[in-house]
Amino acid sequence: MSNRQRKIMERQAERNREMAALKQAQTRTPFREAELQFLSRHPPPDYSKALNFRQPAEILLQDNKIKRVLLKKQMGQYSNLFGVKEDQSMDADSLEYAYLHDDHPGLIYIPNVFTPSAQRKLIKSCLKEYSRHPNKSNLDTHYLVPNSGLWDLHEDVYTGKRSLNDHYVYVQRKATTDEHASGYGSEDDNVDSADNNGSRAGVADQNENENKNRNRDRNGQGSECEDPQSGNKSNINNINNSNDQVEKLNDIQHFKSRGKTKSKQSQPSVRTLVPIIDGTPSVPEDMTKDDPEPSAQVPILPPGQLVRKMRWVTLGYQYHWPSKTYHFDQSAPFPSELCTLSKAVVEAIDGVSPYPYSATDFVAEAGVINYYQLKDRLMGHVDRSELNKDAPLVSFSFGHSCIYLLGGPTRERFPTPILLQSGDILVMTGPCRSAFHGVPRIIENTLPQYLQSRIDDPDWDIYAEYLAEARINLNIRQVYPPKRSEETFPPSIL
């Protein structure tokens, strides 16, 4: 090829690239646009664009879309799991409020409700207790995590009780060969990003192209579009109702991105999800919800490193990530304090939310604990797997602050960025329950002082060290309509 020909070809290739980039920019949805803004490393995002519900009321309420509602009692009076604040009077300083937003009907935001010690207690439970069997984590797909839990192993090494020379402190792989493995690709794919709900990714790099981002996102919980335990309303409510072609495509891309896999889970056909017939979930007879195959490629790591690979833990009804449906026949006992805590929130918003739901009807049946390292993100999705969409979804944040994007029923609405901080509660009720949302950014250097190392509590050190690079989100859902909650579903639908 002559020099001239080569130059012509290079120019043509360059033009093609530009055209492709232009096309991609044109097809970006407003939600995606917002995600990209907050994913950007260089330049860093403009965090001042985010709505901060902890601003002084006189500033916050200048935005006339924001409404403030006084709670009847302090949250600590609904349950002492929020911690007992010294000032329990109803003086102006101690009043607690919930906030609503005109653009997001059904959103209830209750800022700063936990005392520091109540936060520390819950964080400890999220890392040490709730992550134990029978609750499942993303690590269980690939590793033989001991029943005593990974955190206990980490603690033994951290406190010097056991040495890293001790072979038994290393959690072993489930698979010894990749013969039947899903072969998700790199080790990182397996553990870092390919698990959780769906749109959860490991490292977000501004230079990654959009498709790559999509494919890597939230492999576990449910693709870019849906979240993990949630799932997909169209699938659940009406198997023929593909409510969103784009989502469908993304899902398929998601499966393709794990194309090396030989297992059934890798096929788009797992989208044969649970249809509702006469309000009752009905699982097709031939549908199996197998676990994804373990990979022999995952790294063997010291427990202190492996805990940082833990991306999610599911509580109550266990979730089948590949199909984004619950295992309606697999439920682990729900931690009782989390039942109390979530019920207390539902009680506190009684009369606040324009979409009422009685606290007596609320049953905590499924939960997800999301563990984010600083560079993790959770891409836009809707939580759709629950059969009961009327019950509030209660979400607690701990550790580093994040940007939470709250959009509308489609990606075509530009989302509102919200600064979610440690100790805040976000409740999705009514239409907000079906809104796109995601966490494109964990914000560095935002760990509150009271969650850092403490002279008065050396036992906290191991948690402080973990939180120095992490955020924890705990969210709780009701799966079944109230009348069903205490009943057992007939075996025919399991």
The pair of structure tokens assigned to 176 is: 């010894």
- Maximal C-alpha separation, the chain: 85
Residue 155 binds Fe ion, judged by CB under 5 A: no
User: CA-to-CA distance for 411 and 432, rounded, in angstroms?
Assistant: 14
Residue 473 binds ligand AKG, judged by CB under 6 A: yes
CA angle 261, 267, 268 (to 5 degrees): 145
Residue 435 amino acid letter:
A
Residue number of the CB atom closest to ligand AKG: 473
Binding segment (CB under 5 A) for Fe ion, from list 37-45, 77-85, 224-232, 314-322: 224-232
The count of residues interacting with Fe ion (CB under 5 A) is: 2
The pair of structure tokens assigned to 67 is: 């409404």
Nearer to Fe ion, 192 or 383 (CB): 383
Residue 368 binds ligand AKG, judged by CB under 6 A: yes
Binding to ligand AKG, residues 20-39 (CB under 6 A): none
Residue 383 binds Fe ion, judged by CB under 5 A: yes
Q: How far is the CB of 323 from ligand AKG (least distance, A)?
A: 16
The pair of structure tokens assigned to 461 is: 């050190």
Q: How far is the CB of 487 from ligand AKG (least distance, A)?
A: 26
Residue 138 binds ligand AKG, judged by CB under 6 A: no
Sequence-ordered list of residues with C-beta below 8 angstroms from that of 101, at least 6 positions apart, any chain? 51, 65, 66, 67, 107, 109, 416
Nearer to ligand AKG, 270 or 428 (CB): 428
| Site pattern 152..191 for ligand AKG (x: CB under 6 A) | ----------------------------------------
Residue 192 binds Fe ion, judged by CB under 5 A: no
Residue selected from 130, 357, 398, 404 as contacting ligand AKG according to rule CB under 6 A: 404
Residue selected from 182, 250, 475, 478 as contacting ligand AKG according to rule CB under 6 A: 475
Residue selected from 195, 227, 244, 376 as contacting ligand AKG according to rule CB under 6 A: 227
Residues 238, 279 contacting (CB under 8 angstroms): no
Nearer to Fe ion, 145 or 387 (CB): 387
Sequence-ordered list of residues with C-beta below 8 angstroms from that of 216, at least 6 positions apart, any chain? 189, 193, 194, 201, 202, 208, 257
Residue 194 amino acid letter:
A
Q: Which does 473 bind (CB under 5 to 8 A by kind): Fe ion, ligand AKG, none?
A: ligand AKG
Residue 199 binds ligand AKG, judged by CB under 6 A: no
User: CA-to-CA distance for 440 and 33, rounded, in angstroms?
Assistant: 11
Binding segment (CB under 5 A) for Fe ion, from list 209-217, 283-291, 358-366, 375-383: 375-383
Binding segment (CB under 5 A) for Fe ion, from list 17-25, 85-93, 252-260, 381-389: 381-389
Stated length of the chain: 494
Q: How far is the CB of 477 from ligand AKG (least distance, A)?
A: 9
Phi, psi of 259 (to 5 degrees): -60, -20
The pair of structure tokens assigned to 165 is: 């020379």
Known binder of ligand: residue 381?
A: yes
Residues 482, 404 contacting (CB under 8 angstroms): no
Residue 424 binds ligand AKG, judged by CB under 6 A: no
Q: How far is the CB of 415 from ligand AKG (least distance, A)?
A: 13
Known binder of ligand: residue 383?
A: yes
Q: Which does 370 bind (CB under 5 to 8 A by kind): ligand AKG, Fe ion, none?
A: ligand AKG
Phi, psi of 399 (to 5 degrees): 90, -140
Residue 217 binds Fe ion, judged by CB under 5 A: no
Known binder of ligand: residue 104?
A: no
The pair of structure tokens assigned to 429 is: 């009720």
Q: Alpha helix (H) ranges present in 61-140?
A: 75-78, 116-124
The pair of structure tokens assigned to 45 is: 């995002």
- How does DSSP assign 234-280, residue by residue? HHHH-TT----HHHHHHHHHHHHHTTT--SGGGSGGGG----EETTE
User: CA-to-CA distance for 272 and 320, rounded, in angstroms?
Assistant: 13
Q: How far is the CB of 321 from Fe ion (least distance, A)?
A: 13
Positions touching ligand AKG (CB under 6 A) are: 197, 227, 230, 368, 370, 378, 383, 395, 397, 404, 420, 437, 439, 473, 475
* Binding-site residue positions for Fe cation: 381, 383, 437
Q: Footprint of Fe ion on this chain (CB under 5 A)?
A: 227, 383
